[in-house]
Amino acid sequence: MKSHSLLYLILCFLTFSACSEQNSGPDPRLNQPEDFKKLLDAHGNWAKWISARSFSFAMVHETTLEWENHYLDLQTGKVRIDADLYQAGNDGEKVWVSPNRQSFPGQSVRFYHNLYSTFLSIPYVLTDTTVTVTKIPNRVFNGISFETLEAKVKNGALIGPSDRYTLLIDPETGRLAWVLFSVKFFDRNNQIEEALYYEDYRDANGLIFPRVITGYQTENDSSRRIRYQTSFSDVFLVEKSLEKDLFEMPKTGVTAN
C-alpha cells in the first residue's frame, strides 16, 4: 500500500468542507422492513451509514496483489480511485481515467468505478430509497438452507453492477454470508448468476465490514470456480465531505466509458 495515498486521505479528512443542512425530519432510509432491519442490526450501528457523507477504503486484489485506494462522496456519487498504475474517478458529470485510457486494464471505467464500493457496502447501500427489500423463501445454496432477502432497485436502475441482489444470511451470526446477482450493466437480459462470499468481518467505528470478499461462478445452486478475491482495510466512514478537488479530473486525465 502506498503510504503517500493514505497520508493524502488523512490530510483530506483534516480539511473537510463545512456542511450546513436544515433539519427536515428523520431520513426515510431509516424506515426499513423489520426483516431487513434485523440484518442491518447484525452489521452494527447502520444509522451511521445514513448520516455519513464520505466513505473510503483500501483494497488489494489477492490474485495479482494490485492495490487501490477508494474515496467516495455518498451524497453526490463522486468517486476517486488511486491505483498502482492509474487514477480514475467520477466528478459528478463525467467518468475519467489518468494518465490515459490504456492505463486502465478493465473493459469499462464506468462499470468499475463504483463496483467494489457497492460490494463492500452491502447491506448498508441497499437502504437507499430506490431499493425495495423483501423476505422471500429460504434459498438452498451449497446444500445449506439460508434465510433470504431480495433487494430490487426501482424502475430498472442499477446500484453497482445490477438491479437485484439476493442476500443469504448466516444462520449463526445473522450477518450477510452470500450475495447472489447477475451483472446487468452490459446486458440487461443477462441471467448468469454470480456469487460473493463475505467473511472475516471487522469493526470500523461501529459498523461491520468484511475483510475478504470472494467472487465465484455458480452452477446448480452451488459456488464453483473462484473468479477473484479481494481484501479490504482502512475503512473510514465520516459525516463530512471530502474536498471537492479530490474528484476533479487531473490535467493528464481523459474521459472514459
Other beta carbons within 10 angstroms of residue 22's beta carbon come to: 4
pLDDT of residue 183: 98
Rounded to 5 degrees, φ, ψ at 25 are 95, 180
**Predicted pLDDT of residue 4:** 45
DSSP 3-state percent helix, strand, coil across the chain (nearest 5): 20, 40, 35
- Nearest CA among 215, 149, 140, 154 for reference residue 176: 149
> What's residue 25's pLDDT?
75
What is residue 118's predicted lDDT score, i.e. its pLDDT?
Answer: 98
The enclosing H or E element of 7 equals helix 3-14
Q: What gap in Å lies between CA 5 and CA 217, rounded to an integer?
A: 33
Mean pLDDT of the 180-190 span: 97
Indicate the pLDDT class of residue 20, thresholds 50, 70 and 90: very low
pLDDT digits (tens, 9 = 90+) for 71-94: 999 999 999 999 999 999 999 999
Three-state secondary-structure class, residue 117:
helix
- Mean pLDDT, residues 138-163: 96
Mean pLDDT on 139-159: 96
Each residue's pLDDT tens digit, 222-234: 999 999 999 999 9
**Separation CA 209–CA 198 (nearest Å):** 9
| 97 vs 249: CA distance, rounded Å | 8
Cβ atoms 181, 193 nearer than 8 A: yes
What pLDDT was estimated at residue 7? 39
Whether the pLDDT of residue 11 is over 50: the answer is no
Instruction: Find the mean pLDDT for residues 16-40.
Output: 76
Mapped to the 3 state alphabet, what secondary structure does 196-256 carry? Answer: EEEEEEEEECCEEEEEEEEEEEECCCCEEEEEEEEEEEEEEEECCECCHHHHCCCCCCEEC
Round to whole Å and give the CA distance between 189 and 251: 38
Global pTM reads 0.90
Give the C-alpha separation, 121 to 108, whole Å: 21
The angle formed by the CA atoms of residues 13, 243 and 118, to the nearest 5 degrees, is: 80
Distance, in Å, from the CA atom of 177 to the CA atom of 162, rounded to the nearest integer, reads: 18
Of 117, 98, 116, the C-alpha closest to 256 is 98
The residue whose grid cell reads 439476493 is 166
Q: For the chain, what is the mean pLDDT?
A: 91
Q: Which residue has the cell 446487468?
A: 184
Average pLDDT over residues 61-74: 96
Taking only Cα atoms into account, the Rg of the chain, rounded to an integer number of angstroms, comes to 18
Query: Confidence band (pLDDT; 50, 70, 90) for 1?
Result: very low
Decide if pLDDT at 23 tops 90: no
Say how far apart CA 230 and CA 200 lie, in whole Å: 12
Write down the pLDDT at residue 3. Answer: 40
Is the pLDDT reported for residue 14 higher than 70? no
**Sorting pLDDT into bands at 50, 70 and 90, what band is 208?**
very high
CB 110 within 8 A of CB 256: yes
Q: Band of the pLDDT at 24, cuts 50, 70, 90?
A: low
